[in-house]
Chain A
Amino acid sequence: MTLQSIVQILASGLLMGLIYALIAVGLSLIFGLMDVVNFAHGEFLMLAMYASFGLVALTALDPIVLMPVIAAVLFTVGALAYVGVVRLAMRARANLGMVQIFATFGLAIVIRGVSQLLFTPDYRNVPNVWLGGRTIPVGGIYLPVPQLAGGLVSILAFLGLWLLITRTDFGKALEATREDAGAVALVGIDKNRVFTIGWGLGAALVGIAGAILSIFYYIHPDVGLPFALIAYVTVALGGFGSVFGALAAGLLVGLVEAMTATILPPSLKSIGIYGLYLLVVFVRPRGLFGSL
């Protein structure tokens, strides 16, 4: 294996890792905020991809341009999911853990059903995108332009998230609610409002990821599951609730996947990630970067 091909593998792994991190961070954010795992996360991603597909068909603009709109659509989806489902699940008197898991699972199934009904199970892809299918040569290796753009967007999104958490009042409220949801009520923070915006934000982040993914990935109602699985693994590796753990773990997952794909047949490429996950979970149950 030449040095060049090794660099090629590492570079494409890192780029995909940035996108995985972006998919996972919303999940981690929501978990950190309220200890709830959103089992409809993959379906949020799928909706974002369909939103991209639909908006492109409607406006003839490029997904990159439409990204803010898609993020806004998903923000609404996330906020509605909290207000309509999760908020109620938090109130359960019996079987609380079970209720939280299956309320979001039920939601996931409904979203998938609605998508099958509206969009049919056919595979689709967004036609004529500016960036689609191109590569650019960088120092002897070729990088796919969509992934490169995706990586950049992901970095920007994380930067924005970091600014939001550290520099704004909402960020402070978010941090405070993460620390102690009971106590924030005493200092006049509306917990429900923070949760609603938190869910909206988490979904908007996966919305951005979906917009990018729609450039180079086919779209169908079941597309969410494999990505959701990668997101769970990423979040578990990074430490549930840790935003920047998700970034580091996403990169790691991208790298491991790219390396596995060079050693093993493509159908086994996810084994590397699962193996890594199990190794970490068995040794450090709270993840590599688990903030406690």
Chain B
Amino acid sequence: MSGTPLLQVQNVSRRFGGLVAVGDVTLEVGRGEILGLIGPNGAGKSTLFGLIAGALPPSSGRILFDGHDVTSLPAPERCRRGIARTYQVVKSFDSMSVLDNVVVGALVRYPRAAQARAKALDVIEFAGLSHRATAPAGELTPPEKRRLEVARAIATEPKLLLLDEVMTGLTPAEAARGVDLVRKVRETGVTVLMVEHVMEIVMPLVDRAFVLHLGRELAHGSAQEVARNEAVISAYLGDRRRAS
């Protein structure tokens, strides 16, 4: 299996009514790489994430994970196969403690709760959240919540980790710590597909970048190639102008 890419998205589209959120996207993520999925607001990045993680079915196209067709598998089964994700809008289990949040993730590999708790303790240490282990997740600061989302996903021992704008809303110092965490995760052998709106953060981190614009592929290649791409620049500048 190691010859095939870890994730293959083949001609995947997703329509909501008449609106095409993702149109005929084909991309591959190789084992052990960090692929940046970038694009302006509303480019369809989060929808594509949902399609890969199994939160919603594609209107057409196929998704292969580890060489197997997972297009029709529900989200929990994809998690069991090794796909984990975070959410752009943080979805922590607010009434549960930080530790218990992570235990939920660990249970998919360790059905015995005691083992899952041991694993979760391990993971929150790794994610730098040990000092907050017993705090209710609802009381965390926004950067801590982002960290918790990553920890929870790592606890499922994924092969592929989908990070949806984990750096958004962080101060530069916090973002730097976030980048460190992502590097650390990759060093453990996890493949990372990360959505980021802010190019300055992702570009130094990723091996390759894939640019999505209005639901379709605009460009892909190395970070430098993409950063020099005319179409990308104009899409981004246009976006900036609209935003300001």
A and B, direct touch (CB closer than 8 Å): yes
The residues of A with any CB-CB pair to B shorter than 8 Å are 93-95
Q: Mark B137-155, 1 if CB is under 8 A from A, else 0.
A: 0100000000000000000
Q: Residues of B contacting A95 with CB < 8 Å?
A: 95
Taking residues whose C-beta sits less than 8 angstroms from the other chain, chain B's interface range is under 10
Looking at chain A's contact residues, the main secondary structure is loop
A contact residues around B94 at 8 Å (CB): 94
Main secondary structure of the interface of B (DSSP, over half): loop
Contact residues in A for B138 (Cβ distance below 8 Å): 93-94
Task: Kindly list the 5 A-B residue pairs having the minimum CB-CB distance in the complex, ordered from nearest.
Answer: A94-B95, A93-B138, A94-B138, A95-B95, A94-B94
Residue of B nearest to A93 (CB): B138
CB contacts under 8 Å to A, within B87-121, are 94-95
CA distance in complex: A110, B35 (Å):
59
Question: What are 5 sample pairs from A and B whose C-beta atoms fall under 8 A apart?
Answer: A93-B138, A94-B94, A94-B95, A94-B138, A95-B95
Q: How far is the CB of B58 from chain A (nearest CB, A)?
A: 22
Which residues of chain A are within 8 angstroms of B95 by Cβ–Cβ distance? 94-95
Task: Tell me, rounded to whole Å, the shortest Cβ–Cβ distance linking A93 to chain B.
Answer: 7
B138: min CB distance to chain A, Å: 7
Q: State the CA gap A95–B95 with chains docked (Å).
A: 9
Q: A93 — which chain B residues lie within 8 A by C-beta?
A: 138
What B residues does A94 contact at CB under 8 A? Answer: 94-95, 138
Q: How far is the CB of B66 from chain A (nearest CB, A)?
A: 35
Chain A min CB distance to B24 (Å): 28
Chain A: CB-nearest residue to B94: A94
Closest A-chain residue to B95, C-beta based? A94
Nearest chain-A residue to B136 (Cβ)? A94
Assembly CA distance A94 to B94 (angstroms): 8
**Whole-angstrom CA separation of A93 from B136 in the bound complex:** 13
| Residue of B with least CB distance to A95 | B95
